[in-house]
Copies of this chain bind each other. A is one copy, B any other.
Amino acid sequence: MIFASDNWTGASDRVAAALVEAAGGYAPAYGNDPLTAAVEAAFTRVFEREVAAFFVATGTAANSLSLAQFSKPGGVVFCHRDAHIAVDEGGAPEFFGGGSRLHRIDGADGKLWPADLAAAIALYPAVFIHHGQPAAVSISQLTEIGTAYMPAEIAALAAVAHEAGLPLHMDGARFGNAVAGLGVTPAEASWRAGVDVMSFGGSKNGCFAAEAVVFFNPEQAKGFAFHRKRGGHLFSKSRFVAAQFSAYLEADHWLGLASHANAMARRLAEGIEAASGSSLAWQPQGNEVFALIPKSADARLRAAGAAYYEWPTAGPIAAPLDNQPILVRLVTSFQTQASEVDAFLQILSADAA
């Protein structure tokens, strides 16, 4: 009953097999190998257009380096208040941007909304240098609360960003779950909606450690290789990231893995809705379920070894009153078993018995 995070998972069988298969022999270093080239081609196929793809070590690196590519002195990156870049990346986006500022914007459903974004950008008029200058807009797909931007929502944000001359970056740590959940193509969920550059995550969804920065306009990737190198993120044995991505992208394996995770999340969500005393905080759109569960259920689940995080409702967490429901985040993954879900739900509902 591990619902702590999808980064507690292992690797999918196919990904693991591909890595082992690539383990022998020799290949040129630093990405000049055939497997890396093949994966670059695979990205182009997946996204139905020529892209420039760069492997990096972590999602934090992917986000920070993506944004560094568009950094400016006094540059400001606009993002949701709860964005991973703003909360959980230890200052990496600021560091790689030479001291960037993250302008955090509130927004319902964990999303940035066009009018709010436009209003925030307007706080930095071009003639007034003291405030700094807009540099980029970043959104997360899935959002930090497990919701998914619909292509039209992305397009509306992209319109605001582009109108202001800013690129739109997508933190796609759970892009696979979003695409699978929305039932759209990767292209529709990204560049066709106006995304300029994406952090494409593989680690949470079946890879050991495989992250990529994908530029949808290769011209905008000019010089990016130096950002990656300067950040210590150019793997010498690039082919071993490539091997993972190769299996991950082949025959939509990644979408299959994500679909399974999403299905498990739905199973979990339905069970929670059906359970007396528990409820969904909001509808999941991927592999993350946010639920309000009774304190007594929480105690039973913890005792049974279930792993998941209590989620802050706002600011510092107040101690909940006796058996007052608490907000928890439950993350499913490609590894989640239906039996795990069912066991969880059974313990959750034990009160009703």
B19 & A61 in contact (Cβ 8 Å cutoff): no
Chain B residues whose CB sits within 8 angstroms of the CB of A7 once the complex forms: 29-30, 236-237
Q: Is A68 an interface residue (CB 8 A)?
A: yes
Instruction: Using CB atoms, name the residue of chain B closest to A89.
Output: B130
Q: Is A11 an interface residue (CB 8 A)?
A: yes
A5 & B23 in contact (Cβ 8 Å cutoff): no
Roughly how many angstroms separate A14 CA and B133 CA in the complex, as a whole number?
A: 39
A131 & B26 in contact (Cβ 8 Å cutoff): no
Roughly how many angstroms separate A70 CA and B99 CA in the complex, as a whole number?
A: 16
B316 & A119 in contact (Cβ 8 Å cutoff): yes
Given A57-B57, A235-B57, CB of A230 within 8 Å of CB of B95: yes
A75 & B91 in contact (Cβ 8 Å cutoff): yes
Roughly how many angstroms separate A7 CA and B97 CA in the complex, as a whole number?
A: 30
B235 & A209 in contact (Cβ 8 Å cutoff): yes
Roughly how many angstroms separate A204 CA and B311 CA in the complex, as a whole number?
A: 42
**Distance in Å from the Cβ of A202 to the closest Cβ of chain B?**
11
Within 8 A of B (CB), among A16-40: 16, 19-20, 22-30
B27 & A8 in contact (Cβ 8 Å cutoff): yes
Within 8 A of B (CB), among A62-109: 62, 64-65, 68, 72-76, 87-92, 94-102
B5 & A92 in contact (Cβ 8 Å cutoff): no
B73 & A223 in contact (Cβ 8 Å cutoff): yes
Roughly how many angstroms separate A74 CA and B227 CA in the complex, as a whole number?
A: 7
Chain B residues whose CB sits within 8 angstroms of the CB of A19 once the complex forms: 16, 19-20, 208
B100 & A91 in contact (Cβ 8 Å cutoff): yes
Q: Is A218 an interface residue (CB 8 A)?
A: no
Q: Mark A49-65, 1 if CB is under 8 A from B, else 0.
A: 00000001111111011
Roughly how many angstroms separate A62 CA and B315 CA in the complex, as a whole number?
A: 31
Instruction: Using CB atoms, name the residue of chain B closest to A116.
Output: B315
Roughly how many angstroms separate A95 CA and B231 CA in the complex, as a whole number?
A: 8
Given A58-B233, A234-B60, CB of A99 within 8 Å of CB of B88: no
Residue in B8, B9, B131, B236 whose beta carbon sits within 8 Å of that of A90 in the complex: B131
Residue in B27, B94, B230 whose beta carbon sits within 8 Å of that of A92 in the complex: B230
B130 & A90 in contact (Cβ 8 Å cutoff): yes
A23 & B8 in contact (Cβ 8 Å cutoff): no
Chain B residues whose CB sits within 8 angstroms of the CB of A232 once the complex forms: 56-58, 60-62, 64-65, 89, 92, 96, 231, 233
> 4 new A-B pairs (CB below 8 Å) besides A57-B233, A73-B90, A90-B229?
A57-B61, A58-B232, A91-B229, A99-B230
Sample of 19 A–B contacts (CB below 8 Å):
A7-B237, A10-B25, A58-B233, A61-B232, A65-B232, A73-B90, A73-B229, A75-B91, A89-B232, A90-B130, A91-B101, A91-B132, A95-B230, A96-B232, A97-B99, A98-B99, A133-B226, A203-B236, A203-B237
- Can you list the 7 inter-chain pairs with the closest CB atoms, starting with the nearest? A61-B232, A95-B99, A57-B57, A90-B229, A94-B99, A74-B91, A7-B236
